[in-house]
Amino acid sequence: MGCSGRYYLLTLVLCVVTELAIGVRVVSKRKKEAISTADDQSTSASWWQAGTATPFRSDSSNNPFSSTHGLVQTHPSGSDPFSSFGGVGSTSRPSSNPFATSGSGPLSSGVRDNPLPLLARNANGKVSLKHLDFTSSATAELRRNPALSAPDECARACRENEPPRICYYHFTLELYTVLGAACQVCTPNATNVVWSHCQCVLADGVERGILTANRMLPGPSIQVCENDKVVIDVENHMEGMEVTIHWHGIWQRGTQYYDGVPFVTQCPIQQGNTFRYQWQGNAGTHFWHAHTGLQKLDGLYGSIVVRQPPSKDPNSHLYDYDLTTHVMLLSDWLHEDAAERYPGRLAVNTGQDPENVLINGKGQFRDPNTGFMTNTPLEVFTITPGRRYRFRMINAFASVCPAQVTFEGHNLTVIATDGEPVHPVQVNTIISFSGERYDFVIEANNIPGAYWIQVRGLGECGIKRAQQLGILRYARGPYQPSSQTPTYDVGIPQGVVMNPLDARCNVSRNDAFCISQLKNARHIDPAILQERPDVKIFLPFRFFVYRPEMLFQPNTYNRYLVAPQGDHVISLVDEISYMAPPAPLISQYDDINPEQFCNGDNRPANCGQNCMCTHKVDVPLNAVVEVVLVDEVQIANLSHPFHLHGYAFNVIGIGRSPDTNVKKINLKHALDLDRRGLLERHLKQGDLPTAKDTIAVPNNGYVIIRFRANNPGFWLFHCHFLFHIVIGMSLVLQVGTQADLPPVPPNFPTCGDHLPPISLH
Ligand SMILES: CC(=O)NCCc1ccc(O)c(O)c1
């Protein structure tokens, strides 16, 4: 296939950015104060089920704790899994439970945390912090340096004239376990997000080895105000593992070397080493996760919330509360190490699809073979009648499954995506992809009670019918919904869909909103909407399927993934499979052999169908860049979410070929459509394309994004599916030159090959 036409560099026109005044909105309505009574905060009670203890463990035979505490559940056939949940129904425990012999149970044993505080967070409102004793988790650094603020001091309502803080976090990364002995000492609090005093990780009640930051799942939440400085010391104690942490959604202007991409912005952090990340966050709902190997899927992720004073949020009049506890992090979950699925197996546990879905690291699991269900606590979000709440949803999935979130009996008013505010739209359900965030408002306007939250895994996750439940609970009301438990097939009625999978985005419809129909609530650089961008890049992507004879040729060791149907594949973006260089681009550029680099216009000689090199596309600083992503994957039902580091881009168009006799879109056809003016581009006055940093390219379709390349650096641009990253569905956009970048800090770690002359002494 020829390369011409894949990558266009048009004349760079430097545009003077005229700062247009944004319509200033005066928010005068005083926000309500937090209510923080104990019954708002804790889910109370335990999840031990009366009856015979049947801990659900992958192997309980040689585990000393196997019959002592655990997830006892006995509902093979649809009886109510919540009879002991939240203080409703039976609270007696199996006699084999060690807590039972204490006569008091974990709630009153004195070792359990105090109820977690509810922080009121509407910036005019007061912050109410109760019961929080952080002395035990204050690290040496916090004690030593009085200029630093602890996580709970930073998780506050943001005011306009308040001095910024320096918010300090210490992440200790370890190999750890779900249902370890820590669970004999305490039970985690269901609403704990900022940190935990309890080291018990329950997940979905199925024992497995995991990776954790500070023995929490998700890891610690970073919640700060817009101008705060954030400092995170990442101490790697994972045996035999290196790691980097990426701060997904944080632009890293001026701190490009702290973006956390291995061999692009840093050397991976070796075991036993501590790496200090420091950045200032752009406002919004973001998250952090490991960017090395498959570690993210084993538990290394957590939320980031960068709040603003309400006067700076164009949608602040739509909600009364923006609580630390109303972050909703969705993740997919396996019952074994992610590495068990890579490169992948042919007979047992094939493919990469998850066993389960978690909401804030919580959930239950129904064993499809036995029908037994764990009864670990579900996530509970508490609301007060009449109030309006901002929820911050993060899709931290690693797999290809879109996640569909529905709240029983409540509309969702979407007010932001990927940290960027939009003109509000009301929907009933949100479909999101790995890496995306959606902020929405829920008004507590239904009959006070408890309501189901359903998160379904779509796409490939439909095979295992992976879903999870949570509870939206009105304060002082029951913990248990009175309605039928939603099942995968008979769920909460879906109504209007945010982000429909059918990619019908060129028509206004009353059953769905496409992302390309959302309107940006912030100022858009007018140059973004000019007809011709300065740089236009077509990026088709697909898989290359190996024949086994090619892949397993003696003395060749090419990487591959065994896809769900058994195909052995690598990923190609513009016919190139990304390989990381042996040293970081940002700090050791000159150590890298220039022949390592490639792109569609510069393919290495003899680079065949499985061309592997460091795919890098250069973009002039300040150019207006358009990227057209084209899905050339020949698989139905699979849409790839692309994430750009360092930026939020404007989503100019999403669609499929209008040509009904074209069965499969490809680069050639997309170029042809573009020539004929048939690619959808929202460039009219008033279209206000929304800003995002992660966008799913619809299956058999395309996405057009634009951004002004005003943040110099080496920015990874990649499919956010974890198993697609490791087989090369990535490239680096180099914006500007090394001279445009701040130098890396003194003593920045170095790495690289060691290939000295061979000597016998
Ligand atoms: C012919 C072909 O492209 N096969 C690959 C299909 C595939 C690859 C990777 C996945 O994660 C996945 O779900 C499906």
Best of 638, 699, 722 for a ligand 1 pocket test (most atoms within 8 Å of beta carbon): 638
Residue 721, pLDDT score: 98
Confidence of residue 191 (pLDDT cuts 50, 70, 90): low
Per-residue CA distances from 384 to 86, 117, 149, 473, 534 (Å)? 17, 16, 30, 8, 51
User: Tokens 């569905």 — which residue?
Assistant: 729
Pocket of ligand 1 (CB under 6 A): 352, 400, 460, 543, 545, 563-564, 567, 569, 633-635, 638, 723
- SS3 track for 371-411: CCECCCCCEEEEECCCCEEEEEEEECCCCCCCEEEEECCCC
Q: Complex ipTM, two decimals? A: 0.95
Pairwise CA distance, residues 286 & 222, whole Å: 9
Distance (Å, rounded) from C-alpha 351 to C-alpha 747? Answer: 42
Q: Whose CA is nearest to atom 6 of ligand 1?
A: 563
Ligand 1 probe mutation, 635, 700, 722, 724, most atoms within 8 A of CB? 635
User: Among all chains, which residue has been given the structure tokens 């994972």?
Assistant: 238
Beta bridge partners of 642: 695, 719
101 sits in which H/E element: helix 98-101
pLDDT of residue 88: 24
What spacing in Å lies between the alpha carbon of 571 and ligand 1's midpoint? Answer: 9
Provide mean pLDDT across the span 280-297: 98
Could you count the other beta carbons within 10 Å of the beta carbon of residue 282? Answer: 17
Q: Whose CA is nearest to atom 7 of ligand 1?
A: 563
Q: How much is the pLDDT for 138?
A: 54
pLDDT of residue 71: 29
Of the pLDDT bands very low, low, confident and very high (cuts 50, 70, 90), residue 629 is very high
How far away, in angstroms, is 362 Cα from ligand 1 center? Answer: 29
Above 90 in pLDDT, residue 641? Answer: yes
Residue whose CA is closest, atom 9 of ligand 1? 563
Q: 33-37, 302-306, 402-406, 489-493: which range is least confident on average?
A: 33-37
Q: Which protein residue's CA is at the shortest distance from atom 4 of ligand 1?
A: 567
- Is the pLDDT at 282 greater than 90? The verdict is yes
Q: Which of 544, 569, 639 to mutate to test the pocket of ligand 1 (most atoms within 8 A of CB)?
A: 569
Residue 308 has pLDDT above 90, yes or no: yes
- Flag whether pLDDT at 708 surpasses 60: yes
> In 3D, which of 709, 710, 705 has the Cα closest to residue 690?
705
Distance from the alpha carbon of residue 541 to the mean position of ligand 1, in angstroms: 12
d(CA 637, CA 653): 20
* Nearest-angstrom CA–CA distance, 412 and 442: 6
Task: Give residue for tokens 């061309």.
Answer: 611
Residue nearest to atom 12 of ligand 1 (CA): 563
Query: Could you tell me whether strands 429-432 and 403-407 are parallel, antiparallel, or unpaired per DSSP bridges?
Result: antiparallel
Write out pLDDT tens, residues 61-105: 332 222 222 222 222 222 222 222 222 222 222 323 222 222 222
Distance from Cα 361 to the centre of ligand 1, integer Å? 28
| Residue minimizing CA distance to atom 5 of ligand 1 | 563
Going by pLDDT thresholds of 50, 70 and 90, the confidence category of residue 193 is: low
Residue nearest to atom 10 of ligand 1 (CA): 563
Sign for the CA dihedral angle at 262, 403, 463, 718 comes to negative
Contact 650, 689 (CB under 8 A): yes
- For atom 14 of ligand 1, the residue with the nearest CA is 563
Average pLDDT value over all residues in the chain: 84
Distance 562 CA to ligand 1 centre (A): 8
Token pair recorded at residue 379: 């996530």
Looking at residue 189, its pLDDT comes to 72
Which residue's CA lies nearest to atom 3 of ligand 1? 543
CA distance 200 to 186: 7
Its pTM stands at: 0.85
How far is the C-alpha of 462 from the C-alpha of 489, rounded, in Å? 9
d(CA 635, ligand 1 centre) in Å = 7
What pLDDT shows up at residue 192? 53
Which pLDDT band holds residue 190 (cuts at 50, 70, 90)? Answer: low
To which H or E segment does residue 151 belong?
A: helix 151-154
DSSP 8-state secondary structure symbol assigned to residue 437? E
Measured in Å, residue 639 CA sits from the centre of ligand 1 at 11
Say what the pLDDT of residue 122 is. Answer: 34
Choice between 133 and 197, residue whose per-residue pLDDT is larger = 197
Q: How many other CB atoms are found less than 10 A from the CB of residue 352? A: 27
CA of 511 to the centre of ligand 1 (A): 30
Distance of CA 561 from the midpoint of ligand 1 (Å): 9
- List pLDDT tens digits, range 534-565: 999 999 999 999 999 999 999 999 999 999 99
pLDDT digits (tens, 9 = 90+) for 424-455: 999 999 999 999 999 999 999 999 999 999 99
- Tens of pLDDT, residue by residue over 480-535, are 999 999 999 999 988 999 999 998 988 889 999 999 999 999 999 999 999 999 99
pLDDT, tens only, 115-171: 223 333 333 333 333 333 343 445 789 999 999 999 999 999 999 999 999 999 999
Give the C-alpha separation, 208 to 336, whole Å.
6
Give the pair of three-digit tokens for residue 737: 């030159």
Token pair in block for residue 484:
């039928």
Q: How far is CA 681 from CA 460, 529, 626, 698, in A?
A: 30, 9, 11, 15
Tens-digit pLDDT profile for residues 566-607: 999 999 999 999 999 999 999 999 999 999 999 999 999 999
d(CA 42, CA 59): 32
